[in-house]
Each structure stands twice: as structure tokens, then as C-alpha cells.
Chains A and B, each alone.
Chain A
Amino acid sequence: MPTAVNNWQTDQKAGNGKQPKPEYKSAFRILKSYINPHRKTFTLVTICTIIAIASELFQPYLVKIAIDDNLMAGKNDYSSLIVICAIYLGLSISSLFFTYLQNNLLQDAGQSIVSRIRKQLFEHITRLSMSYFDKTSSGSLITHVSSDTEAVNQFFNQVLLTLLRDGLTLISILVMMFYLDTTLGLYCLLLLPIIALIAIGFRSFMRTTYQMARTRLSRLVAFVAENLAGMSLIQVFHQQKAQGELYKERNEDYFKANVREIRTAVTFNRTFDLLGNLTIAFVVWTGGKAVLGDTMEFGVLYAFITYIRQFFQPINAITQQWNTLQSATVAVNRIWGILDVEPEIKDAAKPVKINHDAIKGRVDFNRISFSYGNGTPIFRGLDLHINPGEMVGIVGTTGAGKSSLMSLLCRFYDVNEGSVQIDGNDVRHIPQAELHRIVGLVQQEPYLYAGSIIDNVRMFDESISREDVVRACEFVGADQLVSRMAEGYDTRLSEKGSGLSAGERQLISFARIIVFRPKILILDEATANLDSQTEQLIQRALQVVSEGRTTIVIAHRLSTIMQADRIIVLSHGSIVESGTHAELIELQGVYEELYRHSQGEAAAASEAESANESAAAPEAHTIR
């Protein structure tokens, strides 16, 4: 049931406290640029609308003619009555047809525009730099793509239709009134400012109550969702009662907000009703006197009464669209806020041409300095050179800069000083798409897509043949796992790869590497979270994959990197030790201490010291 969850997620976003003030002008200007290509359609829609509202509009007038020229005058000419009915029938049929046409035309144009915005937004976001994704939660991006564009959709779906149809109706009614009787028409025109005043007064009040209810609803839903997710914990800690009390508070808050909202809405609607009826009474009074004084025909009075009743319908419809209009405006501005974001990392104007197959895989970090934004520097003049085909292990406590180093190599970020080079080419001069194919990355949590195993390995790139994928899976030892599945390589995986264990998922991500043949391979904690048996399986696959590639392995668990050609120990952004496992153990330094810890010797003597160290290394990335 995706919609249910989506709704409350949307609500949650909407209830995010302060709503940005809608900037109607810029929003309309933006939408206009999208409407322009569809100008012809919109013109047609307007024409259709005018024809469509004609029958509604002329009905009172036709009855007026029937009354004044016929029934009241006592002419009793039935044939002219038939003519009037025939005209009315004709108008009704044309209205039926044109209403249908107008709706379809408008939606066709509207949907084309919304589709275009959705695709454009998605494409834009996808092309932004990694730094943007590190700063922005994926939840809010999803909201932009799904809810915000849906708000724009509603603008075309409802708001525009209402504005066109009811706006035109309103104007036409006024015109008809003036045509029938100028004085009475003027009186009715006086109504407009009164209605406007009431509407504005209520509207701001309604908006606050509406928003209050939404905020409280999202709080309620978030609370329930979280408590349901953590119910086993609540039960194990025997906290049902305490949580129930917290729930009661939120439920009551929401109920109160609801009642307030209802009260406001009912009062608003009834005030309108009352105003409508008062106006009719007023028209009867002034019009009645005029009819008595023979300055007005009775049919005109009849038409006026009917028009007044019609008059309030479009006004009501338009005010009901107010909230939608507002959220659409906010959404449009938000969407354009994102479209205005420039990727921080851009390809060089004249990128170097790289022959993928000729890459040897030498990596140089030349005296690099780097910090995230204006934060404390992660690296100050770090120097590291990795030979083609070498396997380098990197260890260090959280926050030592292991992952930052890799982000620089992938050019997710740019260095502040110094340079990162691959085979002597600065990564800033290599096109990003090319660079990302040269450097492969396997993460701790392998990410799988909703699709078959084949597509997951080849990343939906159909230029890679099925045979290549099968061969890659056999190569890393994933074929056994695949053969156990019901539909073999065509088994569909879900987003989180359910049905596969962590190790099996990791095997699939290794197969990806084989298929895409990167020259440099980074394993970022790729074997954490696995039990020892699975880890062994992965170790074997790793050996196969790292063959002939420059491989950089980041690990908490030393067992993963003990076989590396060289182990680098990072601390606070600089290299403190470097050498093979045996050399570093002999050195009796940081690495040796880590090793002892991993062997489970609770080093009581060095405890105080290492506690200080872990305190000094804040887990900076995880705090957003």
C-alpha cells in the first residue's frame, strides 16, 4: 500500500513547521514558460470553456423571455415557447460536448507539462554532485519528485480548470446582470468587495487551522508509525502504558485541531449561504419595488434571482481551490530552487581523452589538503602513491579520513590543494562519466535495484550481453546462489534485495565489478556486517576480483587486509604507519595495538589512552 505511506510522508513534509511564503509572481512566470509551447491548446480550451458555460448562463435569460414575452404578457404563443426550449436544448447539447472536449484538452496539455517537469527534475537531481546528496536527505528529494510535482499536477488538474471555468462564469454572469438591469447590476457589484472581505478574513484563519491540523496529523502518524515499528521494543521494556499516554496527547491534539477546522469551515460556508440568501431577499425588495413601479419587467427579476444563486457557486469553487493553489505555488518555487542548483563538480572545459583499456592504474595523491565546506581540514598535505596492480589496505579509527580519501579519488569532492592523479592525469581533467568507469567502488551495503539479477549486475545497461553477466557471476562464485533461485538469472530482486543474505548481495556487487571492468577498485568496508563463514566466501571472491587491478581496501576488520601488499594506517588525516602486516606488527605501534584489540585482548593498560583517541575522532560524517 504505497499510497498510504506516501500520504503521511507528504504530510510530514508539509508539516515541517514554517511554510515558505508562496511567491505567486515567480511561480506563475515559471509555469508560463511551460505553458507557452501549448499556447494553441490553451486557446482552444478557453474557447471550449466559453461555449460550455453558455447553456448555464443563458438558461435564466431564456426563462425570462418566456415569462416576459409570453406567459406574463398573456400572449400564450406556444410555438415561441417551443423555440426557446429548442434553443436551450441545443445549448445544453453543445455544453455537454464542449465540457468534455475542454476537460480532455486541458488535461492533455497539463499532463504533458507535468511529465516534462518530472523528467527534468529527476534528470537534474541525478546529475548533481555527490556532495549534494551527502547534504540532502534522500527523503526530501523524493518528496520533491513525487509530492511537489503532484501539487503542480493539481494546479493543472483543478486550479486552472476552476479559474478558467468559474472565473469566466463569474464574469459572464456580471455581464448578463448589467445587460438586464444596470441599477440592480450595480447593487450586485457592491457584493463583490463584501464577498472578497469575508473570503480574505476567513481564508487566513482557515489556513492556520488547516495547517495546524495537518501538522498535528503528521505528528500523530509519525508517532504511530514509529511505535508500530518499535513495538517489540516497547513490549520488551514493558512501556505500553507510558507510550499510550504519549499517544493520547497527540490523538487529542489532532482531534481538537479537527474540531476547530470543522467549526471554521462550516461557519465559512454558511456565511456564504446566508449572504446569498440575503442578496436574493435584497433583490426581491429593490427589484419588487421596481417591478411595481413598472421600471422593470418581472422576468428580469426572475433572471436576477437565478443569477444570484449561480453567482455564489463559482465563488465557492474558487475559494475551495485556494489551498491547492497555495501548495502548488510553494511546490513550484521549491522545484525551481532545485533546478537552480548547479552541480558543484563539473567536467573540465577541455577534458583529456582517456583510453579506458590503456589505463594502468597508478594512483597519486600529491600533497592534498581538503575539508568539507568550511569545516576543519581532513587532510593537510597528505602524500600517497599507489602502483599499478598494488593492493593497499587502509585502516584507522572512524573519522580518520579513510572514506574521504576515496571520495576524492572518485571526485565526489575536489581537493583544496594538491592533486589526485590517475596514470598522471589529474582527475579534474577526466570526464566524470569516464572517471567513474575507471574507478570501481564496492560499499558496505550493496545496493540492489528492483529488477532481474541480470539487470542488477549489468545495471540495466543493455549493451552488456547476458552471456557476459553469466560469466561474471560464475567468475565470482555467485552462480551457485543464482542456480538455487526459482527463475535463475531472471529472478526479480526487490529494492532492498530481500531474499538474499548480506553476503549474497555482496557477491552480486562483485559481479558488477567484473562486468564493468574498472581499472582501480575500492572496497569500502565491503566485508563488515558479515558472519565469519560468509566473510570467507567474500574473501575468495575478492581475490579473484582484485586480480590485475589496483585495489584499495578500507576495513575495520583487520582480517580483510592482512594479505595486502601494503597497509596504511591513517590517523587524523595523515599516514602514521605503512608497511606489510608483519612489518607493522614488528613496529609495535598503532597497528599492532589495533591488532591486539581485534584479537580480543582487553588492553586494560592502554584503555585510557585509546578512549581519548576515540573521543578525539568525532564521527563527523554521520552527524548531518
Chain B
Amino acid sequence: MKSEGVLKPYFKQTWHIYLASVTLHAAASIIFAYFPKVLGDFTDKLKSGQLGSHDVVHFSVVLVLIGAGYALLGGYGQYLVMYVGRLFEYMTRRRLFTHFSGLSEHYYSKNGVGKMLNYFMNDVTGVRESISMGINQTAMATMLLISCVGAMILSDIPLYLIAASVGPLIFIPWIVIKIGPVIRQRSRKVQEALGTMTESAEEQFGGVRVTKKFAVESIMIKRFSSKVDQIKTNQLSLVRISSLFQAIVPFLGNLSLIVSLAYGGYLTIKGDITLGNFVALTLYVRMLMNPLQQIGNVINTVQRSRASLQRLNELIAVQPDIVEADNARTVNLASSPIRLSDLTFTYPDAPQPALKHINLAIQPGMTLGIVGRTGSGKTTLVKQLLRVYEPPVQSIQIGNTDIREVTLESLRSQIAYVPQDGFLFSTTVGENIAFGRRKAGQGEIHSAARQARIYDNITEFPEGFETRLGERGVTLSGGQRQRTSLARGFIMQAPLMILDDSVSAVDAVTESEIVHTIQQERQGKTTIIIAHRLSALKHADLIIVLDEGKIVQRGKHDQLLAEPGPYAELHAIQEEGSQYADGR
């Protein structure tokens, strides 16, 4: 577990930008702190009658310079720190994406996509807020605070007056820290209520056909309304506290001003301080209200993002389960048999093994059929060959090499896997088909599409193979998706092809055509077919029947039919309808 975490490498690379930004902020604040002082001096000169008209010009020019200096220096400092915050997002997200690509299916099955996306978006942004705006505002506020107090002390305003005037302001950060979390908690409740409402809408619009068919629209509307009312209740409870906050902060500022007005005025009358100092004091108090509020906000932000940072650091520290061995070798699947010897596999955290004592030899060029009910371990078995999970040592051999000592590249690029769900990316159809062979030419893409019986569908799309899929493009039916995914497998012309119930949503006619094509195309190449319909397996060289992770039967189609057992039973069920009809 050696991991540097998220922040260390980042600060190593960017500390000089931070330094520059803080320096700029300091300079800007010091300049700005002169602003009330200049006006105070102006007042004093005016009162004592020493002010000439060229002095007026002089004071104006100084004010312009202060304004310009503050805007430029402070602005550049702010820009730098915001820039560097975005740089953090950029760097961290790049790292996270690479990290995600290395994590295995085990991790993905434990953590949903929503959760990982949350790391990726909200946690990264949360940390960025702290180290960008947080640092920016802290720097600005403290520098301004120091400069203002410093300037006040320098300008002979007595310390006790400063303390009395600034006193009420000190409560501002305290209140922000006290009320802030309550506001956050209530605002989370509002967000949750909103989420519930969205879920309710999702449910309703997704199942609108059902609602309509049972004519229960009004009941569903009532259900939704209760969710809406919850939002209102939560929102109003949030407003009660947040508006209190919004009212109290300026009130404290006003108290400060009243103190400086009363006490400062009294001292001015007594002659202890000059009128200029009095004017400067009121201006300083005004200037300090904002930074103090910001400090409170920053403390809250930092608290919030500490949890995010911790989550990110833990995520980065996760080690991928599947790691290539140091001395990994390449293998040739076209000539090497695959041997499974006494393979027993248990999913991490599962109480029962998913595969038990599997012994199987897959000779190059053979067609293997796998049958079994849902959950019998069919997919688990073929995924072992892809090394998606780590099989026990010495249980899978390719040629004479243990699968754990084969390079992932050579293993996976020689296997064309066609999963059941037909997952496609929202790129063009052509790009989806060429996913495993990005350099494939149009001709190859077309012929793969023809083999998968999807060519005619694609050419009917307005943009043919250039048609985009997904949200903003064409939505394919389940069968079309499966056939596109099949084409993606065909184009690889891999020595080993695995079809994991790949045509379940395709109609009977097309299915039998595809089965026929597979037979022709895969002549002499190793093919593993998982199927529910036994008709797809008739031609297999070997069929294994899995039940609860064990091979319970093996043989050719005719052989298996002849012996009593699950295969023959399954066959009977699939034929039953016809017997029933014939018997009539």
C-alpha cells in the first residue's frame, strides 16, 4: 500500500504557482489597506484647512493607483489560484481514469457506476473548491485583515478603539461555522427530496404503459404529489435557517459600525483621535465584513472536502486485482490447447464456490457448447479464460503456460468475446464494430456486419455505418444490439471466440442463420458457445452441461440425448409444446 495520495504529487508540481498567488494577494491587500488611510488623511488636511486644489488632484491620483494596483495584482493572484484549481481537477481526473481502467470486474461489481462517477465528479470538485477558492479566500481575507489592522494601528487609532469596533465582527466567522453545517444538512435534505421526486418521475415515465393499461393515473399522480410536498416542506425548513443567517451577518456588521460611530465619535469629540482617523475607521470596518464572512465559509468548505479527499486517497490506494506477472509470456491460442484442471473458483466474498472441480480440455479448432440454467456458472467459466478474475494457480494452462503468466495483451487480443447484454458505446456503428481492431478497413467492417446479419439494418439508417448510437443518436433494439456486438466479435477473427448467449433476443429465423454462419466462419477455429436453445449447439464437438458449478454431463448432442439426464430433460421441455399440440 504505497500511495502518495492525491495532493502530494499535485503540490509538488504547483507550489510555485501558489507562492506567486499568495504573494500577489499580499501585495494587493497591503495596497488596498491604504485606501481608507488616504481618505482619512484627505479629511484631516481638509479639516485643518491645508488642502489645496493640487492636493485634491494628488489624492485622486493616489486613489486611482490604489484601485488599479489592487484590481490588477489581486486579479492576477485570483486567476492563478483558480487556474491551479482546475489544473488539479484535470490532473486528478486523468489519474483516476487510468486508475479505473486498471481495476478489475470485482471492484466494479462491488461499487456501482454511480458511486464511481461521484468520486470522479463531486469529490474531485469538492477538493478543488478547498484548495482553490478556499486558499484564495483565506489568503485574501487574512492578508486584508492583517493589512487593515496593521494600517489602523499605524495610523494612531488607539488599540482599544480598534478592538471595540472590530469586536462584533469576530462573531461572524463563529456564526458561519455554527449555522453553516445546519444549513448544509437541511440543504442536503432538500436535495434528497428532489432526488426522490426525480426517481418517482423516472419510475412513472418508464412504466407509463403499465400505469395507463391499469388506468391508475390518478393514483400515480397522488403518489408524485406527496413527493413534491416533501420538497416544499424541506425547502421551507432550509429557508428558516438560511435567512436567519443572511440577516444576522449584516446585523453584526452594523453593530460594529455603531460601536465605531459612538465610541470613535466620542473620542473625536474629546480630541483623542482626528476626524480623519474616525473616517478611516468606519471605512476599515466596512472593508472587513466580507473577508470575515469568507473565512467562515472556507472553514465549512474545508470540512466538507476533507471527507472527499479521504475518499479519493483511499480510491487511489486500491490495488488492481489482476496484475501482469513480471516475466509474463505471450501465447498462441491458435495452436495451444487450453486445459482446465480441477478448477474451483469462488468469487471474492462469496460463501460458495461458483465453479467446482472443472476438468476440461479445449483443443484448438473445436467447438464447445455450454448449457445450464441461470446461475449455473456458464459465464463465470468463460470469464476465467479471459482472466477477468484470478483463477487459482495451475488450474488453467494454455499450452504449457499458466494463464497467470501470460501477458494480458496476448491473451485478450486473441479472444473475441461476445457478451449477452450487447453493450455498445455511443459512437458510430462502424466504430463500435471495429472496437477491438481500430485499424480495420470499411470492407472488413462491412463483412463482419454481414456475418452478424446486421448489415441490412445498418444500411437502412440514414447515415449507414456513420450513424451514431445512444442518447442522441439511434436507439437499437435488443436484437440489433446483440447482432452489432456479434459483428464486433467477428471482425477480430480471433483464434478463440466466445459467444455468451449472444443471440437470445434475435428471432428464430435470424438466429438459425447466424448459427449457420458461425459454423462456416469458425471452421478450424476454437469457438465456445453458451446457449439456452439447444438447437444452437447441435453441431458442437463437445457439449458440457453445468449445474451449480459442476459439469454434470458431457458429450455430443446425440450422445447426450440418448442418456437420461438434464440435457434430455431440457430438450423435452423445449419440444414439449409441439408434442402437446401433436397429441391433440
Contact = CB atoms under 8 A, between A and B. Distances in A.
B361 interface: no
Nearest to A243: B101
B220 A126 contact: yes
B246 A88 contact: no
Given A436-B214, A602-B516, A619 B479 contact: yes
A125 B202 CA distance: 12
Interface string B58-100: 0111011011101110110011001100110110011001101
Interface string B185-214: 000000110111111011111111111111
Interface stretch (B222-230, B332-340, B346-354): B222-230
B236 interface: yes
| Range for the number of chain A residues in contact with chain B | 35 or more
B213 A441 contact: yes
Given A228-B117, A244-B97, A598-B535, A142 B247 contact: no
Contacts of A224: 97, 117, 120
B88 to A, nearest CB: 10
B182 interface: no
A603 B114 CA distance: 46
A231 B425 CA distance: 11
Interface string B115-129: 111101110000000
A78 B535 CA distance: 105
A277 B507 contact: no
B515 A236 contact: no
B436 interface: yes
Nearest to A247: B97
A588 interface: no
Given A67-B275, A239-B435, A1 B68 contact: no
A190 to B, nearest CB: 17
Contact of B75 (A225, A230, A236, A269): A269
A43 interface: no
B448 to A, nearest CB: 14
Interface in B403-426: 408-409, 412-413, 415, 417, 419, 423, 425-426
B513 A607 contact: yes
A307 B185 CA distance: 37
A346 to B, nearest CB: 14
B423 A230 contact: yes
Nearest to B268: A71
Interface in A560-617: 560, 562-563, 580-582, 594-595, 597-604, 607, 610-611, 613-615
B221 A623 contact: no
B258 A600 contact: no
A118 B197 contact: yes
Given A126-B204, A298-B43, A597-B508, A281 B63 contact: yes
A153 B57 CA distance: 50
B221 A123 contact: yes
Contacts of B254: 55, 59, 88-89, 92, 95
Given A126-B204, A230-B423, A450 B199 contact: yes
Contacts of B475: 622-624
Contact of A450 (B102, B198, B203): B203
Contact of B82 (A67, A262, A598): A262
A184 interface: no
B209 A233 contact: no
B363 interface: no
Given A232-B105, A277-B70, A146 B201 contact: yes
B217 interface: yes
Given A141-B201, A558-B577, A598-B508, A238 B412 contact: yes
A551 to B, nearest CB: 15
A532 interface: yes
Interface string A245-286: 001100110110011001100110111011011101110110
B19 interface: no
B194 A255 contact: no
B113 A228 contact: yes
A115 B217 CA distance: 19
A21 B160 CA distance: 58
Given A88-B261, A108-B236, A459-B216, A285 B202 contact: no
A26 B299 CA distance: 43
Interface residues of B, number: 175
Interface in B155-202: 191-192, 194-199, 201-202
A72 interface: yes
Contact of A559 (B240, B476, B576): B576
A277 B71 contact: yes
Nearest to B242: A103
A433 B434 CA distance: 49
Contact of A233 (B419, B577, B581): B419
A32 interface: no
Interface in B447-476: 453, 456-457, 460-461, 470-472, 474-476
Contacts of B258: 85, 88-89, 92
Contacts of B63: 277, 280-281, 284
Contacts of A104: 236, 239-240, 243
Interface string A303-316: 00110010000000
B436 A622 contact: no
A88 B255 CA distance: 9
A526 B241 CA distance: 53
B84 to A, nearest CB: 10
A142 B195 CA distance: 11
B232 A111 contact: yes
A236 B53 CA distance: 82
Interface string A84-111: 1100110011011101101110011001
A387 interface: no
Contacts of B578: 558-559, 562, 581, 595, 599
A183 interface: no
Contacts of A309: 286
Nearest to B374: A531
Interface string A377-416: 0000000000000000000011000000000001010000
A95 B243 CA distance: 12
B563 interface: no
Interface in B254-304: 254-255, 257-258, 261-262, 265-266, 268-269, 275, 278-279, 282-283, 286
Nearest to A125: B205
B205 A289 contact: no
A46 interface: no
A12 B417 contact: no
Nearest to B474: A623
* Closest CB pairs A-B (n = 8): A600-B535, A277-B67, A103-B243, A559-B577, A2-B195, A622-B477, A270-B75, A288-B56
15 contacts: A3-B191, A4-B122, A71-B278, A88-B257, A95-B250, A225-B117, A240-B101, A251-B90, A251-B93, A276-B67, A278-B64, A280-B67, A291-B46, A459-B216, A597-B512
